[in-house]
Amino acid sequence: MTPPSSKSARRPRRPRPADLKPHEVELAQFFVRMAGILGVPRSVAEIYALLYGSSQPLDFDRIQARLGMSKGSVSQGLRFLRDHGMILSVRAAGSRRERWQPTPSLATSLVNLLRSQVLPALEQSTPALRRVLEAATADGASPEVLDRLGRLNRWNGRALELAPLLLPPPEA
């Protein structure tokens, strides 16, 4: 299995829109690599990077134009980021256009993402991993395989036990 960073390195890059500065492209590449580890789509990471590196909140049309994305990709990306508490909607006085900016705390954004993406994946995998171990046992799998599967089940359980201790409590 190839690590996520190697996979994304081989994937063709989206053409760079002309008005993105080199540091903005590099920031996007950083967030794309990090998002890949968490299973977050590339387009979401690119939108977040653009907002994160912007000194002013950006509206939908500006985001779409700067990144060269479809309206659907921008819409889905903004919805994902908003739903996971990573961006805030702001309105300028006298304007009806919604503009977006990153939340003040990158740490809070990351914690929200871990809570919404990683923890549910661990929770959902618990019964499946148990079934895999039970089926492998019933099928007479080798002791080495049963040992590996047992360790995987224990790792998953420990990760679920440790998560509340490692992540700060959710904000009310």
pLDDT band of 24, cuts 50, 70, 90: confident
More confident residue, 77 or 13: 77
Per-residue pLDDT tens digits for 52-83: 999 999 999 999 999 999 999 999 999 999 99
Same domain membership, residue 123 and residue 81: no
Do 70 and 131 have their domain in common? no
Q: Indicate if 98 and 115 belong to the same structural domain.
A: no
Q: What is the pLDDT of residue 16?
A: 54
Residue 172 lies in a domain: no
Among residues 97, 114, 98, the alpha carbon closest in space to that of 106 is found at: 114
CATH of the domain at 12: 1.10.10.10
pLDDT-derived band of residue 171, with 50, 70 and 90 as boundaries?
A: low
Nearest to 12 by CA among 42, 47, 39, 35: 42
pLDDT at 172: 57
Bridge partners for 99 per DSSP: 59, 90
- Domain hosting residue 149, numbered range: 106-166
Same-domain status, 15 and 84:
yes
6-20, 22-36, 67-81: least confidently modelled range: 6-20
- Enter the pTM of the model: 0.71
Q: Is the pLDDT at 144 greater than 80, yes or no?
A: yes
Q: Residue 12's pLDDT band (boundaries 50, 70, 90)?
A: very low
Give the total number of structural domains in the chain.
2
CB 28 within 8 A of CB 45: yes
Quick check: is 142 in a domain? yes
Q: 64 with 121, same domain?
A: no
- 115 and 84 in a single domain? The answer is no
